[in-house]
Amino acid sequence: MNVCVLTSLEPTNPLIAQCVSQCERLGGEVYVNFDGLPFRTDNDTLYISFLGDVIIPESLISEHMYNTHPGPPWYRGWGSRLRTIIDKQSIHASTLHKVALPVDSGDIYKTIEFNVYQSDSMDDIHYRAELASLALVTWLIDHYIDKGKPTLKVAEWSGKFMYSREYQKLRRKYINKTVTPQPATSEF
């Protein structure tokens, strides 16, 4: 089966090579599309939005299209890492779901939870969410090899969806509260 990986990661990010390596186990060609959409889709190709920021329009959604959401089902949309910190959560997760509209509403087939510590930054949480998302791709490929496409829903979406604009506003507010400006220093 051919695989098309849709991602917003930098082409040099080692997670891309690891994702491609997993997808190659299906025996077909693997294509990577950076920050873009395929021109067309078909029902014979597996499409994986792997840490991608691009919203897939309804006209391109296909039978074999999945998303790795680097957040738990209770934080739909943008800003899951920041919301985890603000809400003082001790658990975060990455979620594998079928692509559907509206965004972050498709059937959830797998989640991988991990601990969050008081000392964690958004970057710490995101790094672990990226690794969990790669593990979700591995799980999906294993499932396709052993059983075909997943059908068993394991969780439900909940919580308010956060749009990019809302996230940017919340992020600025959080940064302004937590980052203390440093006094200017002079070399003279």
Q: What is the mean pLDDT of each run of 10 residues along the chain (188 residues)?
A: 96 97 97 92 95 92 96 92 92 96 94 96 94 98 96 93 86 69 44
Q: Which range marks the domain in which residue 169 is found?
A: 2-178
pLDDT of residue 168: 87
Q: In angstroms, rounded to a whole number, what is the distance separating the alpha carbons of residues 132 and 178?
A: 27
pLDDT tens for 71-107 read 999 999 888 999 999 899 999 999 999 999 998 999 9
Quick check: is 183 in a domain? Answer: no
CATH of the domain at 21: 3.40.50.12230
Quick check: is 187 in a domain? Answer: no
Given a contact cutoff of 8 angstroms between Cβ atoms, the answer to whether 77 and 97 are in contact is no
pLDDT of residue 136: 98
Q: In angstroms, rounded to a whole number, what is the distance separating the alpha carbons of residues 167 and 171?
A: 6
Show the tokens assigned to 26.
């299906």
pLDDT of residue 178: 61
Q: In angstroms, rounded to a whole number, what is the distance separating the alpha carbons of residues 138 and 5?
A: 13
pLDDT of residue 177: 67
pLDDT of residue 117: 95
How many structural domains are present in the chain? 1
pLDDT of residue 30: 97
CA dist list (Å): 180 to 85, 174, 176, 183: 18, 11, 8, 9
Quick check: is 185 in a domain? Answer: no
Expressed in angstroms, the distance from the first to the final Cα of the chain is: 65
- Side-chain half-sphere CA neighbours of 65 within 13 A: 23
Quick check: is 136 in a domain? Answer: yes
